[in-house]
Amino acid sequence: MLILLIVMVVPAIFAPLIAPHPPKEGDLKARLLPPAWVGEKTAVKTVVELITASNRDNELRLEAAQTQVQIGKARLITSGSENADRPVVVGDQLEIVTQAGGQTTYLLGTDKVGRDILSRIIYGSRISIIVAAIAIVIAGTIGTALGITAGYFSGWVDALIMRLVDISLSIPIILMALVLVAALGASFKTIVIVLVIFLWAQYARQARGETLTVRVQDYVSRAKVSGASNARIMLRHVFPNVFNSIVVLATLQVGFVIILESTLSFLGAGIPRPQPAWGLMVADGRELIITHWWVSLFPGVAIMLVVMSMNLMGDWLRDRLDPKQRQV
C-alpha cells in the first residue's frame, strides 16, 4: 500500500512539482549518463600511427588521442609526462574516460537523447494511472451492466451476451492491438479501445455469476411482487450486491492493465513517442541493456513495484469486503 502511494499516486498527482526536469526535453551533451552513484570508467590505451586488428581495444590513433586530450577526456600517464603541455606522440599511454560518471542533477541517469530518467518515470506514472483508470471504468461499466442483464433475464439474453463474452475472450489481444494500430495509428485512444475490448468480458462474467445468486433471494421476489420494474430491481437490489466483487476485480486488474499497456507500448502498439510511457522507456533501452543498463532497469522496477502493490491492495480489499473473512 505504502509503495503504491509513493511510486504511483503521489508522483502522478504532483509530477510537475516533483520532477526535476521536463520529461520530453533532453541535453545531448548529457546523453547516457549513469546514475549519480556510478563513477566514471577509464581505460589505458597506447598511442599508435595505425591500429592493428589484433590489439585494437588497447590502441588509439595519434589524431584521436590528440583530440581526446584537448577536450579533457584523456590524460597522459607515460613516465616523464609531468609536463601536461607537451604534445602527444606515438608510444604515449593515455588514460581515457570510456564512460562518464553520474551527476546529482540526473539521479537515475539519462537516456539516449539526454532526457532525465527519473522525471520520465514520474510522468510515466501519470500516464499509467490515467490509462488504467479510464479503461477499467469504461470496461467495468459495460461489463457489469451486460453481466447483470444476462444473469437477471437469463434465457436467450443470457446466451447471447455470454457468446459475446466468449468471442471477446478468444481474441488475441496483441494481434488485435497491432491491427488497430495499423488501422487507426498508435495513440492514447487506441490503447484504451484495446483494453476495453479485452477487459469488459471479465466483468460481465463476474457480474453474471453474482446476479444468478442474488436474483433468487427473497428481497428480489418481494420487490417483484410490489410492482418494481426490472430496471429498478437491477439497479437498487442486484447492483449493490455485486458491487464489492466488481471493486475487488477492478483493483486486481490495475496491475494487469499496467503490464498490458507497457507491453503494447514496448511493441509500438501503445502510447506513441515521445510520451514518457514506461513500456516505451524499457523499449528504448533494450539494445543498451549490457552497457547502459539503467535506461531499461529503472522503468522496469517501477512497473514491478506498482503491479506488486496493486495486487497486494486487491488481496487486502478482497479480505476486507468478504463477509466470511470478516466473521473469522
Distance CA 268, CA 264 (A): 6
> Which CATH class for the 117-327 domain?
mainly alpha
Residues 93-152: tens digit of each pLDDT: 677 776 777 788 888 888 888 899 999 998 988 888 888 889 999 999 999 999 999 988
Provide the grid cell at 49: 600511427
pLDDT at 85: 62
Q: Are 179 and 262 in contact (CB under 8 A)?
A: no
Q: Which residue, 249, 287, 276, is CA-closest to 126? A: 276
* pLDDT (average), residues 312-325: 71
Kindly tell me if the per-residue pLDDT of 314 is higher than 80.
no
pTM (two decimals): 0.79
Provide the residue ranges of all domains of the chain, joining segments of one domain with +.
41-99, 117-327
Question: Biggest alpha carbon distance in the chain?
Answer: 105
* 1 confidence band (pLDDT: 50, 70, 90): low
Residues 50-86: tens digit of each pLDDT: 777 777 767 777 777 777 677 666 666 765 545 556 6
Distance CA 323, CA 328 (A): 9
